[in-house]
Structures are given as structure tokens and as C-alpha cells.
Homo-oligomer: A and B are copies of this chain.
Amino acid sequence: MSEATRSIGWVGCGRMGTAMARRLVLAGNDVTVTNRTLAKTENLADLGAKVVERPRDLALCDIVFIMVSANDDLTEVISGPFGLLSDPEHAPGIIVDCSTVSSDTSQEVRTSCAQRGTAFLAAPVSGNPKVVAAGRLTLAVSGTVDAFQQVLPYFEQLGHGVTYVGDGEVARLVKICHNMMLGIVAQAMAEITVLAERGGIKRSDWLAFLNDSVMGSTFSRYKTPAFVNLDFKATFTPTLLRKDFDLGMAQAKSLSVPMPLSSLCTEIVKSAIGAGYIEEDFAVLLLEAARGAGLSLEAENIEIDDGLGQS
């Protein structure tokens, strides 16, 4: 197949899936989408995407991306009775899974794909729809080099950084590693921000300095409004973060890697959940840090740029 004529399928039009597929549609590709609840495909249809009813209807696509919620969903959309592989005549050339699933499930569907001659790439993403819209999504991809090379032009449309990290399911571990990093940095920001405030420094001043410094990151910048203005509307909940830490610590156990900061952070996140922070953004780690310091925080109510202006 030549790049010019490749047809793209997309399974899963939740918030993240829609934000991602939207980039492929706007880039002018031939994209056909589907979703369990078809109504959720409307936004993409309005932008020019074709819509089909079932994953099976994408069997003729060259490349099919998947963005679903959990292990069982992935198995269903690939190997289920109306799944991508359910048409005995046809199967997609390459299936790319961007969901967060276990390495075991990933391995199973990879095997099923292989039996049909379909290449499978694991390309789990982290981040949120605002990050996607800002063009800041990064992808770690594992599978065969050949399949990766073929999908690369589309990955580059999805985000700004794509890294091929090896065979099999290793991209799953890369994503977990990334999210543990994110959790530790968030907790570090929380406890250090409380120290700064107790020392007489406004949170907005300390974080402005941090963001300008060599430690500043897209993440530190986009969490700053929550820390300054105490707006904890969720982009990522403590419960989701804990799930990643649990997966990471399970790997640390089976690979016999001591991870003192990561394990401590796991317990701190667990404790925040036990204290009742379930639905809020995980930036509530700041509130728990303040509680331990006997500090009552006030929103500074300053307009802060989150650094995610769309690109």
C-alpha cells in the first residue's frame, strides 16, 4: 500500500479518542470511525470522518487505531463476534492500540492478530484531551520496526514526540514509568509548595520560578493553575494514578527493582484516596500536604497560563 492511499480506521470515541482522531481527520486523512455508543461519533463526523457501526466494518482499513477503556474492551473490539478480526475474509494490515491495558491482555491480542497476519503495535498514551489539542501528546510504541515505520507519519500527526522503544509489550512499561514520574513530581511539587508557602512565598511566585527554571516542564506548567487557584476539577484522578503506581510496583516486585520514592508515593496516593479524594484531580496531593503542615490554603485567584495553548 502506498502512503497516499492508506485508509485509517478508529475505534473508540470517548474524550481522549475523539481528541486524538480529530487530529487525523483535520490533517486530511481518510478516516472511518466507530464507537459502541454511535452518538459519540458525531463530532468527528461533522469534521468529515466516515462512521461505521462495528469494528468489523473496519476490516478493510490499512491501519486501525484503538482507544478504549480497559482490558475487556480491547479484547472485544479485536476478537469479539463483531471485532476487527471477525470477518473471515479480511483483516486490517496494522492495529495500533493506544489504550491502557495490561501486558497480558496486550500479549493475547497481539497473538490473535498475528494469526490473521495483522501487525499489532502497542502505543499507550498518557495525558488528557487538552494536552492532545495542544499537540503535546507523546507516544511510546512497541512492536515490529516495520509496522512502526508505516504508522510513523500518522503518529507524528497525533502528537509531537514518538519513540520506538522495542518489541512486544515494552511500551506498556514505558507508559507506567512515565506516570510514576508524573506522580512523584506532583507529590514533590505538593510538599515543596507547602514549604515555600509556610516560608512566606506566594505559591504563584514559587511556581513561576520553578516553571522558568531548568526543572520546569509542560506538566509543571499545566498543573500550576490548580496549585495556585485550588481548582481541582479532574484531568486525572488519584484513583487512576494509583492504578499506574500499583502496576509499576508490581513490575518492580517481579523485576526485583527497589523503588523507594515510587513505593512511598504509592502509599501517599493510597492515603489521599482513603481520606476521600476520589473524584478530584490528583493535584489534591497539595491539600493533603497542607493538612500535615496544619496549613489552611486559600485560592490566590490569579489568571495563570497553563502553557497548553493549542498548536
List chain A positions with a Cβ less than 8 A from chain B.
Answer: 126-127, 131, 136, 138, 140, 160-166, 170, 173-174, 177-178, 180-182, 184-185, 187-189, 191-192, 194-196, 198-202, 205-206, 208-220, 222, 246, 248-249, 251-253, 255-268, 270-271, 273-276, 289, 291-295
Contact of A274 among B127, B209, B291 (CB under 8 A): B291
Contact of A293 among B166, B206, B257 (CB under 8 A): B257
Q: Are B166 and A200 in contact (CB under 8 A)?
A: yes
Chain B residues with CB under 8 Å of A259's CB are 191-192, 195, 267
Q: Are A264 and B263 in contact (CB under 8 A)?
A: yes
Chain B residues with CB under 8 Å of A260's CB are 187, 191, 260, 264, 267-268
State whether A182 and B212 are in contact (beta carbons under 8 Å apart), knowing that A261-B187, A270-B256 are contacts in the complex: no
Closest to A140 in B: B209
State whether A293 and B216 are in contact (beta carbons under 8 Å apart), knowing that A181-B189, A188-B185, A199-B170 are contacts in the complex: no
Closest to A252 in B: B195
Q: Are A263 and B255 in contact (CB under 8 A)?
A: no
Q: Are B214 and A138 in contact (CB under 8 A)?
A: yes
State whether A293 and B274 are in contact (beta carbons under 8 Å apart), knowing that A138-B212, A178-B209, A194-B257 are contacts in the complex: yes
> How many copies of this chain sit in the oligomeric assembly?
4
Q: Are B182 and A215 in contact (CB under 8 A)?
A: yes
CB distance from A172 to the nearest CB of B (A): 9
Chain B residues with CB under 8 Å of A270's CB are 256-258, 292
Q: Are A258 and B177 in contact (CB under 8 A)?
A: no
9 closest cross-chain pairs (CB), A and B: A161-B212, A271-B292, A274-B294, A214-B218, A258-B292, A163-B209, A258-B271, A138-B213, A198-B255
Chain B residues with CB under 8 Å of A253's CB are 246, 249
Among A127, A160, A274, the most chain B Cβ lie within 10 Å of the Cβ of A274
CB distance from A288 to the nearest CB of B (A): 9
Contact of A191 among B136, B161, B220, B261 (CB under 8 A): B261
State whether A255 and B166 are in contact (beta carbons under 8 Å apart), knowing that A260-B267, A262-B191 are contacts in the complex: no
CB distance from A99 to the nearest CB of B (A): 18
CB distance from A291 to the nearest CB of B (A): 6
Contact of A205 among B160, B165, B187, B213 (CB under 8 A): B165
